[in-house]
Each structure stands twice: as C-alpha cells, then as structure tokens.
Amino acid sequence: QVQLVESGGGLVQAGGSLRLSCAASLRTFSTYTMAWFRQAPGKEREFVGAISWSGGSTSGSDSVKGRFTISRDNAKNTVYLQMNSLKGEDTAVYYCAADRFGSGGRHAREYDHWGQGTQVTVSS
C-alpha cells in the first residue's frame, strides 16, 4: 500500500522559513514525479511545485517562485519543500502527491497518490 507522509509543518512568523518533508513508501520511488499542493480554508487545492523522477527538472507556481524550492533524495524516498520568505498567504495545509512517470502537471487529478497533509501557518 502506497503511503506518503508529510512532516515539518508548523507556525512561523512572516519572513521565516520551513522545510517540509514527504516520505514515500514507494518501491520504485525514482519513477515517480512528485509534487506539492496546498489548500487554504475555503479555497481550492493549489499547485505549488513538482519535481521529475530524477530531480533534474522542477516547476513551480508563480506565487512561490524565488521563495520555495523543491528537491528529492531518491535514496531516502523523500521529497522536500524548502520555503523561505514566508508570507501570510502561504498559510495552508500542504500535501505531497505522486504520479508514476508523470509529466509534472499542475492539476490535482493527474496525481494518483496523496499524503494526509501538514499544516503551515504564517503569522504576520
């Protein structure tokens, strides 16, 4: 059974940093495109960024470019989201998602596996 477990969320002041981790119980982790999404209360789930199987290609939404970095360690079956210069509007539940041989799309429906989410709250 596939499990994605996020960790690293919490409360941080505006301008601060957090690093989220997502540990995956995927036997062939290196064949999965991994992505981060987020969902704020009352809003739709929003694409944050994605990273290709090898880690050689990443993409991110305009709202986080230059502030957030996605990376992965295939030896540890883990994907990371480094978040810097956090703003109040970054407050949301953050989810990681996996799509085998995926193209790194920005739509949630493209991803087959999801974690339970981790709360990030940015105080101003």
Higher pLDDT, 92 or 57: 92
As given in the structure block, the two tokens for residue 62 are 């305009």
Query: Which residues touch 81 (CB under 8 Å, ≥6 apart)?
Result: 19, 20, 22, 36, 48, 49, 68, 69, 70, 94, 96
Count CB atoms within 10 A of the CB of residue 43: 9
Distance CA 24, CA 6 (A): 9
pLDDT at position 57 is 84
Whole-number Å distance between alpha carbons of 60 and 120: 18
Mean pLDDT of the chain: 95
**Segment 89-106 mean pLDDT:** 93
| Predicted local distance difference test score (pLDDT) of residue 109 | 95
* 114: number of Cβ within 10 Å: 17
Judging by DSSP bridges, how do beta strands 118-123 and 32-39 pair with one another? unpaired
pLDDT band at 59; cut points 50, 70, 90: confident
Given a cut of 90, whether residue 1 has pLDDT beyond it is no
